[in-house]
A and B are shown apart, each in its own frame.
Chain A
């Protein structure tokens, strides 16, 4: 597998790490695309969090401390270097705080 990387700047030092896919650069804009659909009986994330603004803030905050996983733990061709899940962040930081708004 190639060890050469080009493209976006990386978080931290790349010397000791390998990636199957380029990691996210700093100050990258991240957009959460709410697809596929949620079940009809469940309010969608965008209904609970209009514009997904709070979710986006949680993602960006998490992204800022997304330390790179050590080499032996990062398999090729994956997004595993991303050490968080936007859905988990939504549930933890948004839904957990706004469940009381459901009527």
Chain B
């Protein structure tokens, strides 16, 4: 006979011990029993396995045997009596199980609960068997036929009982229709159109991932039987407690988390389902329960059952992931770098080719009931490639009701708030959605109650958290290995001010902290965004054109980057120049156009073009997302009022027209103004339009580049259109095949017009060809998005592109411009010195060049004999005629610069001649002056005076001046010069030549020490903290 109550050490039979022992005090753990003979604690008492304290209440229970259990607080072990200080409750299998069990039709198959046990009594089952029920659910609950009636049957592995003692539990099926009398046919009583789902659907669930959303919902009208009259639906998830590593510490002592958020409630109608979320780990079970009100005001369960989730496992070793996030004003694109180095945009469940990110425990079929706001995080994203995540947040409450940082941070993703992937029904107020929270100033327009920086930061943070969760869920639905680290590169528009940038940085930081708790992975956002959006896009593609012009028109901003390909590739004299000629950004995106269609403002329909039902920006943006094209949107009678179509088109023309104007003026600025010396002359070596061409003595600066077999002189701009905002260009394509073609055509026409209208265009010359010379052509080309990609993808991909890993790229990044720099665009008149600043002048601090990389090029000198530079050059005989000076001044600055670049060698030669390096350099420079003057048939002094006068005229004469105005300005200037010369006892020419020579000679100073920290301060100036070795001096 098996020894059931004995000491395993000495074999003493404890049931022979006649005594009563206080085994457990009230609410306390039971005592540890020891053998009275050998004091061993290896005491086995079979009866104790059948009597146990409950997990939640601490109350002792035992299984009712023989149908009746005596009200006792004593556990009898033969003669030994073990007493507990509370009543030992007797339990029967009927007490722990639902009275009836529902059956569901899921994707054409019958699905029923695996266990019929009430969640509160799960700890009364054998833990190993409960685990087995999750792993092999098919061996538990089933439907049987008994005397023509369908019944539910399940073996109950009661805790403490032997397998042979496990009872079989049988009960009725809960009919979907409570008024149905047909209980014989299981299919007739089954629930249909009900979805019970879990997000995310991880291919290999791990202990580390702790965030789950569970929802139950009527997908169809049949599914509304969930809420049949006379009963209430209650759904709960059962989440195991876990240790620090996320491993569950119990299979049966589970925490109950209610699915307590209604979904689908709209107006007077009831909800269509419930959703809940947990951040404590993967639920083990979902309990679906039907309740009935009792007379006492309470509710009792009349039916239900437990549906299992497969248990998680340990993580596999994994690589680090890299994401590139283009957090757009209207849409966000996230790119991921695969192990093989390939880049692709995240497109969850794309066209259902991919694994669903939602695990359907019950699949009620495609939803036909669409009520309320749908915040479920699973599903396809928007756009033709299904890789656009709307930059919107929906909330079950009005956003104005949660207008505080703490309230927003308390919301649960997928339950209380989320990204409305499928939009909201038209009956839902726009107060439940917030968009454009990338910009504080946009939130001010839309929802002023949220227009505080800390709230915007919270919105951004929660959005980034949700976007990262959805991205990771998408990838982990197909990959088994979860990452330990995720590097997230993100960018920002240059139109961001410092506050905007700080807000985004803090939001990313907060999101990273929360994501660690939810997924177990370190989401590493850089301390500051690495790169602005336009530069990120530039990093993704190479070019063979002279300039690439990146135009990223998003929902909120237009980013413009003019990238010098020669500089990027260190070609043709552009080495050392930073590739970013201009990089700017304006808060002028597609939303400007959309808002104009909505009218004067939210609630103010003056000027509106949209139908009254689409009267908010959020709804219109949602309609845009679902529309095939902008043109189709305008044609949609549900969106645009028929009578307002022409106005909507007219606004699109103005919207796109001003962008064309802005781009054309920026390009004209590159042509007209970029690269001037300190004296205002054009510096060919710095002007991006000029390139070094030829070899040996023939090598020299030319305007543009030689291209093709004919070596035609050309200036090339290649437009790269990025961002979804260009979709509105479709409205005004006017027969062009693509928006890119339309833009190239219009920008070309406008650029040429602008150049022709500007007087100084003819001064931009290499001595042979000037800007308006017919031998020079302007080529405005364009790049179409890659096959299968779209205009929005480039920034996200560029953030992961190779450019950040190369040495050159690191240099370009380090020296990038910190803020906007571009072209003025409109003429300004300042009354301080009666200055007129023409529209083509640049503004903003530019990117820093790298002088150490500059190509040293000194024009070949003729064999003229050198002459000593005078302390003051001899004065020219007479002033030259106004406007009659050839434009040759540029080469003198180049010579001076080249001399400075060769200073060490120059110093050696000076030492050999016994003079100072400065004197030697002045001799060399003077030689060049003499040589050039001789070539032009002039005296050196006259040449210098001519150059100085030309420079003065350049600063005074402005485009648009009439000849009379110009003559007046010149006369005024001449009067001023003459007066100053007279004061010094000089002629005007002598005075001008002296000024010119002083300026040139002043350039001949030793270059700064190139060693780190060796940058000398400018004369009379304190050293700058953190100044790079070469500063920004050109």
On A, residues with C-beta under 8 Å from B are 1-3, 7-8, 15-16, 18, 20-22, 24-25, 28-39, 41-43, 45, 59, 69-80, 82-88, 90-92, 95-96, 99-103
Partner of A83, one of B680, B843, B960, B1021: B843
A85 CB to closest chain B CB (Å) equals: 5
Assuming the A-B contacts A80-B821, A88-B586, A99-B655, are A28 and B831 also in contact, with contact meaning beta carbons closer than 8 angstroms in the complex? yes
Across-interface contacts of B653 in A (CB, < 8 A): 41
8 new A-B contacts, CB < 8 A, other than A95-B592, A100-B598, are A3-B1019, A18-B1021, A32-B829, A33-B829, A34-B827, A36-B754, A37-B757, A80-B843
Q: B571-615: which have CB < 8 Å to A? A: 584, 586-588, 592-593, 595-600, 606-608
A33 to B1032, CA, bound (A): 32
B753, A39: Cβ atoms closer than 8 Å? yes
Q: Give 27 CB contacts A-B under 8 Å.
A: A3-B1019, A15-B1022, A16-B1024, A21-B835, A22-B833, A28-B831, A30-B828, A31-B828, A33-B826, A35-B827, A35-B839, A36-B959, A39-B657, A74-B1032, A76-B1034, A80-B821, A80-B845, A80-B846, A82-B843, A84-B820, A84-B844, A88-B662, A92-B495, A99-B593, A99-B651, A100-B596, A100-B598
The interface centre, meaning the residue of A16, A24, A87 with most chain B CB atoms within 10 A of its CB, is: A87
Alpha-carbon distance between A51 and B67 when the two chains are bound, in angstroms = 97
**Complexed CA–CA distance, A36 and B751 (Å):** 12
Minimum Cβ distance to chain A for residue B897 (Å): 12
Give A102 to B650 CA distance when docked, in angstroms: 7
CA distance A84 to B1002 in the complex (A): 31
Once the chains bind, are B596 and A102 in contact (CB under 8 Å)? yes
Cβ distance A32 to chain B, nearest Cβ, rounded Å? 5
Q: List the B side residues contacting A74 at CB < 8 Å.
A: 845, 1032
Inter-chain contact B750/A79, CB cutoff 8 Å: no
- What's the nearest-Cβ distance from chain B to residue A6, in Å? 10
Distance in angstroms between the alpha carbons of A88 and B832 in the assembled complex: 23
Contacts of A45 in B (CB 8 A): 826
B606: shortest Cβ distance to chain A, in Å?
Answer: 7
Alpha-carbon distance A65/B852, docked complex (angstroms): 35
Decide: A7 and B588 in contact? CB cutoff 8 A. Answer: no
Number of A-B contacts (CB under 8 A): 206
Verify A24–B832 contact, CB threshold 8 A: yes
Q: In the bound complex, how far is the Cα of B834 from the Cα of A22, in angstroms?
A: 12
Known: A1-B678, A35-B960, A72-B1032. A7 touches B832 (CB 8 A): yes
The closest CB in chain B to the CB of A87 belongs to B825
Does the CB pair A99–B654 fall under 8 Å? Answer: yes
Tell me the bound Cα distance from A76 to B1031 in angstroms.
13
* Complexed CA–CA distance, A7 and B835 (Å): 12
A96 x B843 contact (CB < 8 A):
no
Q: B586 and A78: CB pair below 8 A?
A: no
A103→B826 CA distance, assembly (Å): 25
User: Is B1024 touching A72 in the complex (CB atoms < 8 A)?
Assistant: yes
Q: Cβ of A8 and Cβ of B843 under 8 Å apart?
A: no
Query: What are the residues of chain B within 8 A of A85 when measuring CB–CB?
Result: 584, 820, 822-826, 843-844
Shortest Cβ distance from residue B697 to the other chain A in the assembled complex, whole angstroms:
31
- Residues of chain A within 8 A (CB-CB) of B823 are 85, 87
Q: Are A90 and B824 in contact (CB under 8 A)?
A: no
Which residues of chain B are near A88, meaning CB under 8 Å? Answer: 584, 586, 662, 820, 822, 825
Chain B minimum-CB-distance residue to A26: B832
Closest B residue, CB atoms, query A82: B843
Residue B942 lies at the interface, judged by CB distance under 8 Å to chain A: no
Nearest CB of chain A from residue B207's CB, rounded to whole Å: 50
Query: Which residues of A sit under 8 angstroms from B651, Cβ to Cβ?
Result: 99-100, 102
Cβ of B51: which chain A residues have Cβ within 8 Å of it?
Answer: none
- Which residues of chain B have C-beta atoms less than 8 A from A34's C-beta? 826-827
Confirm or deny: B856 has a beta carbon within 8 angstroms of a beta carbon on chain A. no
> Which 10 pairs, one residue from A and one from B, show the smallest C-beta to C-beta distance?
A87-B825, A73-B845, A72-B1032, A76-B678, A99-B596, A33-B827, A8-B832, A69-B845, A100-B607, A31-B829
Q: Are B1019 and A24 in contact (CB under 8 A)?
A: no
Interface centre among A7, A38, A42 (most CB of B within 10 A): A42
B845 in contact with A86 (CB, 8 Å): no
Q: Is B665's beta carbon under 8 Å from chain A?
A: yes
Contact A28 B830 (CB under 8 A): yes
Question: Does B564 interact with chain A (Cβ within 8 Å)?
Answer: no
Chain B neighbourhood of A38, CB < 8 A: 661
The answer to whether residues A71 and B1027 also contact, given A7-B832, A25-B832, A85-B843 and a CB cut-off of 8 A, is yes
Inter-chain contact A18/B1018, CB cutoff 8 Å: yes
Cβ of B922 within 8 Å of any chain A Cβ, yes or no, is no
A30 near B825: Cβ-Cβ < 8 Å? no
Do B1024 and A100 touch (CB < 8 A)? no
Contact assessment for B959 and A35 in the assembled complex, using a CB-CB cutoff below 8 Å: yes
B360, CB-defined interface residue at 8 Å: no
Q: A87-B826, A95-B658 are in contact. Are A100 and B831 (CB under 8 A)?
A: no
Given A34-B826, A72-B1032, A86-B828 in contact, is the A77-B588 Cβ separation under 8 Å? no
Cross-chain contact B827 with A82 (CB below 8 angstroms): no
For residue B676, CB closer than 8 A to chain A, the reply is yes
Residue of A nearest to B758 (CB): A36
Contact A42 B661 (CB under 8 A): yes
A7 → chain B, closest Cβ, in Å?
A: 6
Given contacts A79-B843, A85-B584, contact A72 B1021 (CB under 8 A): no
Contact across chains for A41 and B592 when beta carbons are under 8 A apart:
no
The distance in angstroms between the C-alpha atoms of A35 and B539, with both chains bound, is 36
A83 CB contacts on chain B under 8 angstroms: 819-820, 843-845
Is B826's CB under 8 angstroms from A78's CB? Answer: no
CA A24 to CA B843, docked complex, whole Å: 13
CB distance from B647 to the nearest CB of A (A): 5
Given contacts A77-B677, A77-B680, A96-B592, contact A33 B821 (CB under 8 A): no
Is B841 in contact with chain A by the CB < 8 A criterion?
A: yes
Q: Are A42 and B654 in contact (CB under 8 A)?
A: yes
| Complex CA distance for A52 and B781, rounded to whole angstroms | 34
Chain B 742-764 interface 0/1 with A at a Cβ cutoff of 8 Å (1 = within): 00000000100110011000000
Cβ contacts under 8 Å, B750 to chain A: 39
Indicate if B842 sits at the interface (CB-CB under 8 A): yes
Once A29-B830, A99-B593, A99-B596 are accepted as A-B contacts, the answer to whether A92 and B587 lie under 8 Å apart by CB is yes
> B984 to nearest A CB, angstroms?
18
Interchain CB contact under 8 A, B1002 and A78: no
Given the contacts A77-B677, A77-B678, A99-B654, A28 and B832 also touching, CB distance less than 8 Å: yes
Task: Please determine whether B588 and A87 come into contact, CB atoms closer than 8 angstroms.
Answer: no
Q: Considering the chains assembled together, what is the distance between the CA atoms of A3 and B831 in angstroms? A: 23
Residues of B within 8 A of A80 (CB): 821, 842-846
A68 to B595: give the CA distance in the assembly, Å.
35
Residues of A within 8 A of B1010 (CB): none
A62 to B609, CA, bound (A): 33
**Distance to closest chain A CB from B726 (angstroms):** 16
* B679 interfacial by beta-carbon distance below 8 Å: yes
Q: Does B818 contact A (CB under 8 A)?
A: yes
What is the chain A residue whose CB lies nearest that of B586?
A: A88
A90 & B657 in contact (Cβ 8 Å cutoff): no
Q: Is B645 an interface residue (CB 8 A)?
A: no
Bound state CA distance, A22 and B955, in angstroms? Answer: 13
Task: State how many angstroms separate the Cβ of B355 from the closest Cβ of chain A.
Answer: 43
Within the complex, the shortest CB–CB distance from B729 to chain A, in Å, comes to 15
Q: State whether the Cβ of B1020 lies closer than 8 Å to any Cβ in chain A.
A: yes
Q: Evaluate contact between B1031 and A72: CB separation under 8 angstroms.
A: yes
